[in-house]
Chains A and B, each alone.
Chain A
Amino acid sequence: MFENMSHLALQHYWFILVSLLGGFLVFLLFVQGGQTLIYSIGKTKRERDILVNSLGHKYPLTFTTLVTFGAGFFAAFPLFYATSFGGAYWVWILILLCFVLQPIGYRFRSYTDNLFGEKTYEMFLIITGLLGTILLGTAVATFFTGSKFEIVNNHAGTISSVWRGGARGLELAFDFTRYATFINLSLGLAVFCLARILGALYFINNVSDDGIVQKAARMVKIMAVPFLVFFLFFLINILLKDGFAYNEAGVIAMEPYKYFRNLIEMPLVGLFLLAGVVLVLAGIGLGAFVRSAKGIWLAGAGTILTVFALFLTAGLNNTAFYPAYGEFLQHSLHIQNSSSSFYTLVAMSYASLITPLVIAYVWYAWREMNKKKIDDKEIDAKDENRY
């Protein structure tokens, strides 16, 4: 089946698959967002226990999706993995640290003899939620704004990617002499606000406690405004800016309104983006004003569609998804020059056929566990295995 596809078609298939994973990852960042709310919404220890246990049932999914997202990129686009991870070293290390702290925060928090005290582990969760979301968003924004790196030939004939950004990735978030930094940060902050909104919507859905639900609905309202400001700033900027296009010969050039044109030239992607934004807004409205448990599903589906569409805009239609700017423009990475071989993509495509099964059993396990909402009784049970 996959053998009959062209290499280019497989490259598209894998970029679409990884983009979809990216969409699910950002949706599942509701766990991270929820973690930053445990003190804003959880005013008492009991409330915090309820919130942490509610999120604790789902955090492995977020964690796993991140790992698979990274591994998918590694396997399908290894030159991107080598360039970005080896180059933007500090950004990825900080994201990594956030995800290292997360499982520990959950597992160790509730034990009385946990050495550092409950608050320390709660801080782990808050740091993970705060930094993890902002940095991930900032890193993804560079798909549109570019980084500074070059691909060099070594004496032994091998190839290396060498980072030319001065601060090993930190410049992407802190070099305020470059306008692109504001675009990068705006996406980071939009992802952070969205994760908090999704976290609050998840609490409305999963927790059986009127006080918590009320505070969560209020939080959705509070975060909606900054989210829209940051997201619109990012969206308007990328739609108006020049994009990194490549032609059949692989020559990279800056093309005016490239990302806007991508949405027009790929109408389905444009539709996904539009539908995604509408669904996110509808989810916010349902959660904030009706306190409906369905808010998370609408906003979640909207998040997946929006992020999916943004990734596709960055990487399809002859667009370099990991651009190098300035004098290194020609070193930009696109799906054709950074991908794995035809054979590897075919082999992995067969492995990817397991995806529907994965989605089915994740959905089934989720449904079984969500039949009963988290409530006081569960927290009072004093089970040693609870979070």
Chain B
Amino acid sequence: MEHVDFSLVDWSRLQFAVTAMYHWIFVSLTLGLAVIVAVMHTLYVRTNNEEWKNLTKFWMILFGVNLALGVASGIILEFQFGTNWSNYSWFVGDVFGAPLAIEGFMAFFLKAAFFAVMFFGWNRVSKGFHLLSTWLVAGSACISALWILIANAWMQYPVGMQFNPDLARNEMIDFWAVILSPVAITKFFHSVSAGFVTGGVVVVGISSWYLLKNRHKELARKSILVGASVGLFGLAVVMISGHFSAVHVGQKQPMKLAAIEGLFEGQEGAPFSVVAFSRSTNNPERPYELEMRGLKIPNLLSFMATNSFTGFVPGIVDLIEGNKERGIMSAYERARRGRVAQTALRELREARDTDPEEHARLRALFNDEVWLSEYFAHFGYGFFYDENPDVFRQNIARLVPNVPLNYWSFRIMIGLGFLFIFVLGLFGWWAYKDKLDGNKKLFYRLALICIPLVYISTQAGWVVAEVGRQPWVVQDLMPTFAGVTSEMSVGAVQTTLLVFAVLLSALFVAALKIMFAQIKKGPKEG
């Protein structure tokens, strides 16, 4: 491994993580609330009932505040790919840049053009055009998510590209493979529907507060009806897409799955761990070795990951040390082969102007399918190779993501998901049957508590997706530490992290204050 300033890498990661976590707070609500507002707006246009108009305007305020912060935090992320991850931008920009640009063309302009009509069009444009604008803004939020998640899915499962040794970068060769990647499709449905759940839970929670306070009862009932319907629809899609997501993780990112489960040794008919506590064995030969004790459901993990109750799920040790019986190559061997590929690439570039024969010989390797599959396929692992066996062992241990963080994040996400099914189902039913009376105060409080819980749940999902991918910025292709901007000073990153963290936190608090005040004021009656 070349000299890596892990301090720079860690600070850069933290900066991206802080921005992304804030972004996801606002975006998840925006996605759900946009649809809820659009449904209410539709009901107003169809029924001409002023109550629906008042509700549309009320929820639009919360939508607008969130959208502003979502937009503000989103632009930081786009810039950071260049400012903090410039090596990444060059190495995969040919593939990764396209979805971002298309997002701008397709989604951002749609949002920008119709956003003003949605907010200020009440007395300026026709009712039909106004409603269309509201739906276009909601649609643009989903289209935006689609292209961003295509880009993110590509980082989890890079497809549709080929390495160009002359320019030392990856280039797109199949646009459709990138955008129709099964991981991208699953990720899109899973993330957007999680946004619907967030919107639903927030609307039901705030409406429950009105019921607790005995205010705006009819408006609260109407909001709960719409919010719970959108939320339950979202939950159904979350569950289906979640299963497919687990299967994809099992196939494409087995180490991530092993970390999520704390599965040290692979097995057939692997159990799903409901609750467990891990303990490192402190084995210096195997720094990644751990013991897990707790409650397990037999065979469930195998079903989740392979669609078969007896399917084999590889564990951490299989992926690090290899498992010949299962045809899994050890990470050590992959790193050695990856280093061979890297050396060939370096020598190719050196020979370009000095030794045409050697250059031709090396260039031919990059067209040799056998060499590509035996050596170049492990290119990313080459970054972990080191001549010194002790350093090599430590480097290889970095291939295991943080097990406790992934394990608990996954369980928090799923556990809370079940709670939301219960709460949204119950409230949806009561709203439909008009049974939201004064005897359900305990449940109203529960719905209110669900508001912070839904954010914890969506953030946990994000942690599983992104921390579980570590140490890769692009799975198996480029480690995170290789993507960071060269010769950047740690101080610069720390300073900007501090600025972003303080700014986003202050604005978050201001947004909360505005929203609390508007909620306290409530929707207009009559």
- Residue numbers of A with Cβ under 8 A of B are 56-58, 60-61, 63-64, 66-68, 70-72, 74-76, 78-79, 81-87, 89-90, 92-93, 96-97, 99-104, 106-108, 111-116, 152-163, 168, 340-341, 343-344, 347-348, 351-352, 354-355, 358, 361-362, 365-366, 368-369, 371-372, 383-386
Contact = CB atoms under 8 A, between A and B. Distances in A.
B116 A111 contact: no
Contact of B93 (A78, A113, A343, A351): A78
Interface stretch (B239-247, B307-315, B392-400, B480-488): B480-488
Contact of B383 (A84, A87, A156, A386): A156
B97 to A, nearest CB: 3
B169 A372 contact: no
A361 B113 contact: yes
Given A341-B171, A354-B106, A160 B101 contact: no
Contacts of B90: 78-79, 82, 159-161
Contact of B120 (A113, A352, A355, A385): A385
A94 to B, nearest CB: 10
Nearest to A93: B496
Contact of A156 (B2, B115, B496): B2
Given A385-B61, A386-B120, A355 B349 contact: no
Contacts of A113: 513-514, 516-517
Contact of A81 (B97, B492, B513): B97
Contact of A160 (B86, B97, B510): B86
Nearest to B496: A93
B511 interface: yes
B81 A74 contact: yes
Contact of A158 (B87, B109, B171, B506): B87
A68 B124 contact: no
Contacts of B117: 365, 368-369
B102 interface: yes
28 contacts: A60-B116, A61-B113, A63-B71, A71-B100, A71-B104, A78-B93, A85-B86, A86-B83, A86-B85, A86-B485, A89-B488, A97-B499, A101-B72, A104-B69, A108-B510, A113-B516, A114-B514, A153-B350, A157-B346, A340-B172, A347-B175, A348-B101, A351-B102, A361-B109, A369-B120, A369-B121, A384-B61, A385-B64
B121 A74 contact: no
B11 interface: no
B113 A112 contact: no
A371 B126 CA distance: 12
B104 A68 contact: yes
Closest 8 CB pairs of A and B: A85-B82, A86-B86, A78-B93, A157-B345, A68-B104, A75-B97, A113-B517, A107-B68
B2 A64 contact: no
A156 B86 contact: no
B116 A369 contact: yes
Contacts of B489: 168
A155 B347 CA distance: 10
Contacts of A90: 492
B514 A160 contact: no
B78 to A, nearest CB: 6
A222 B167 CA distance: 51
Given A68-B109, A160-B87, A365 B93 contact: no
Given A60-B116, A362-B109, A385 B101 contact: no
B336 interface: no
Given A85-B89, A100-B72, A340 B82 contact: no
A83 B104 contact: no
Nearest to A113: B517
A66 B492 CA distance: 24
Nearest to B382: A156
A369 B94 CA distance: 38
Contacts of A60: 71, 111-113, 115-116
Which of A70, A72, A155, A157: most chain B Cβ within 10 A? A157
Interface in B368-400: 382-383
B419 interface: no
B108 A75 contact: no
A155 B342 CA distance: 8
A365 B110 CA distance: 10
Nearest to B516: A113
Interface residues on B, range: 35 or more
Contacts of B169: 78, 159
A97 B108 CA distance: 19
B39 to A, nearest CB: 18
A96 B75 contact: yes
Contacts of B111: 60, 64
Nearest to A153: B349
Contact of B482 (A96, A158, A348): A158
A153 B169 CA distance: 12
B480 to A, nearest CB: 14
B427 interface: no
A386 B61 CA distance: 10
Nearest to A347: B175
A168 B86 CA distance: 14
A107 B83 contact: no
A161 B82 CA distance: 11
A100 B75 contact: yes
Contacts of B509: 115
Interface in B58-108: 60-61, 64-65, 67-69, 71-73, 75-76, 78-79, 81-87, 89-91, 93-95, 97-98, 100-106, 108
Contacts of A112: 517
A106 B68 contact: yes
Contact of B101 (A76, A89, A107): A76
A383 B100 CA distance: 35
B57 interface: yes
Contacts of A355: 105
B195 to A, nearest CB: 19
A372 B492 contact: no
A56 B116 CA distance: 8
Contacts of A70: 78-79, 82
Given A156-B2, A156-B383, A159-B90, A108 B492 contact: no
Which of A78, A156, A384: most chain B Cβ within 10 A? A156
Contacts of B507: 104, 108
A328 to B, nearest CB: 14
Nearest to A102: B72
Contact of A114 (B116, B129, B513): B513
B164 interface: yes
A193 B492 CA distance: 31
A39 B322 CA distance: 69
B360 interface: no
A159 B168 contact: yes
B133 interface: yes
A74 B97 contact: yes
Contacts of A93: 79, 83, 496
Interface in B486-526: 486-489, 492, 496, 499, 503, 506-507, 509-511, 513-514, 516-518
A368 B98 CA distance: 32
A107 B115 CA distance: 12
A355 B101 CA distance: 12
B175 to A, nearest CB: 4
A205 B108 CA distance: 25
A18 to B, nearest CB: 10
Contact of B108 (A68, A96, A107, A354): A68
A113 B57 CA distance: 18
B517 A111 contact: yes
A238 B383 CA distance: 45
A362 B105 CA distance: 12
B101 A103 contact: no
B295 interface: no
A351 B129 contact: no
Nearest to A340: B94
Given A63-B75, A108-B511, A157-B168, 19 more contacts: A64-B112, A68-B108, A68-B109, A75-B98, A78-B169, A82-B93, A86-B83, A86-B85, A96-B83, A156-B342, A157-B349, A159-B90, A162-B486, A340-B97, A344-B172, A348-B98, A352-B105, A383-B120, A385-B120
